[in-house]
Amino acid sequence: MDVYTKITVQKSTGLPVGEGPTEFVERKGVGHPDTICDRAAEELSIALSEYYMERYGRILHHNVDKCVLAGGQSKVYFGGGEVLEPIYLLLVGRAALGGEKPVPVGALAAGRTREWMGKAFPELDTEKDLVIQQKIRSGSSDLVANYDASHSVPSANDTSFAVAFAPLTETERLVYETEGYLNSAPFKRKYPAVGSDIKVMGLRMDGKVRLTVAAAMVSKNVRDAAEYAALKEEVKQKLLDNASRITGKEVEVHINAADDPAHNSYYLTVTGLSAEHGDDGQVGRGNRANGLITPFRPMTLEATSGKNPTAHVGKIYNISCQTIASRIAEELPGLGQVHCYMLSQIGKPIDQPQSIHLDATGEVPEEKLRRTASPIIEQALKEIPDLWRGFIERKYSLF
């Protein structure tokens, strides 16, 4: 381990988050506009990386971590509807654009985006109801030079920090798995009226958990208000059954709490996406790298999606921190929680962060925590230069 990296470890005396009096946890599902932007940026980074590897034998400089979605306009009613104005998606960033044979960034952006969105959102007509544009420009000379100067171990192309934690609390697991359950293939086959845009907010208080679920319903698959109400009740029971596998706490579920039958107001969509009319999106406004938004935990505002997988520590360190925290929590089950922080310095090798800090709570002596953590951190740092392969293979959760 390089002496440049300073490692600090401390035991905290406070209660773990899962044992405190109150906890908020949120997950924006795969069809949420912010999550769509996250994935669009990441898929473009993967497409560029694959192109660079095939043409140049290495991944060239790029950071395409900016994306905004402007929602469309639609007309919807029980039994049908139509998209009147398309969803607009704009991808922004910097990349190596080639010389005499320019890199086909526009074709890569449009082709890859329509491909994955078509598979993920079967009710969306990606040719008619989606407009994709890109403003990808060349990178600044200093950042490109810093990247090109890297050899066997790339240099960090930013000074930024990452943070991760383990293990998940019961509420965190419940929120994460509730969205996954609703967006699973078996569930969609049984309940095609439940769209892809799902948000789950969990509140744990006084020994109980309240789940507030926003689920965009596909209008053509719901005949009338009575069927809509029956569907909500059936889905609610399914979620309660699913929750009983995860927690023994009392759970209540509220689905589409803003519905107002008295004014004929329901969460109906043509495509199963609020992006068709009701909401806009942006990279970095949604889930953190572990797929959750957890205000009772330490978090970073750094967006991971779209960043260069070989050198951007804002992406790489989040995965490395998660690896460290998860491995320590697994080795020391007596710990209530482990928080791992990592800070880079631009221009330094990515496997030599400025600082790694561990904060842990639980019935484990600090000396044992240090002895356990040291080899885990050392191994994680050795793995950093090769993490890029996992990003290209979509091995890691980033949103």
Question: Which of these, 339, 331, 340, 341, lies nearest to 368 by C-alpha position?
Answer: 331
Rounded CA gap, 259 and 398, in Å? 32
SS3 237: helix
The whole-model pTM stands at 0.94
CATH classification of 18-28+169-280 is 3.30.300.340, yes or no?
yes
Residue reference for tokens 């074709």: 107
Rounded CA gap, 267 and 30, in Å? 17
Contacts of 43-46 with C-beta under 8 Å, sequence gap 24+, read: 43/112, 43/113, 43/116, 44/91, 44/93, 44/108, 44/109, 44/112, 44/113, 44/134, 44/306, 45/305, 45/306, 45/307, 45/308, 45/309, 45/391, 46/112, 46/391, 46/392, 46/394
Amino acid at 346: I
- How much is the pLDDT for 20? 94
Residue 226: pLDDT band by 50, 70, 90 thresholds?
very high
pLDDT in tens, 129-157: 999 999 999 876 555 555 665 567 999 99
Helices (H) and strands (E) in the chain, counts: 9, 15
Rounded CA gap, 258 and 271, in Å? 19
pLDDT in tens, 351-380: 999 999 999 999 899 999 999 999 999 999
Residue 4: pLDDT band by 50, 70, 90 thresholds?
low
Mean pLDDT of 248-275: 97
Report residue 155 as tokens: 């240099």
Rounded CA gap, 5 and 227, in Å? 60
Task: Assess contact for 274 and 280: CB atoms under 8 A.
Answer: no
Task: Assess contact for 289 and 165: CB atoms under 8 A.
Answer: no
Report residue 210 as tokens: 């309240």
Q: Phi and psi (nearest 5°) for 60?
A: -90, 170
Beta strands in the chain (DSSP E): 6-11, 22-28, 62-70, 73-77, 80-85, 87-95, 130-137, 161-166, 194-205, 208-218, 250-255, 268-269, 281-282, 335-343, 355-362
Report residue 19 as tokens: 């044992």
pLDDT in tens, 70-79: 999 999 999 9
DSSP-derived letter for residue 140 is P
Task: Assess contact for 324 and 372: CB atoms under 8 A.
Answer: no
* Domains of the chain, residue spans: 18-28+169-280
The CA-based angle 259-263-265, given to 5 degrees, is 35
Rounded CA gap, 344 and 312, in Å? 10
Report the sign of the C-alpha dihedral through residues 306, 311, 313, 317, in that order. positive
- How much is the pLDDT for 147? 63
Mean pLDDT of 264-276: 97
Question: Which of these, 159, 119, 120, 93, lies nearest to 29 by C-alpha position?
Answer: 120
Task: Assess contact for 208 and 250: CB atoms under 8 A.
Answer: yes
- How much is the pLDDT for 12? 86
Burial (CB count within 10 angstroms: exposed 0-12, middle 13-18, buried 19+), residue 173: middle
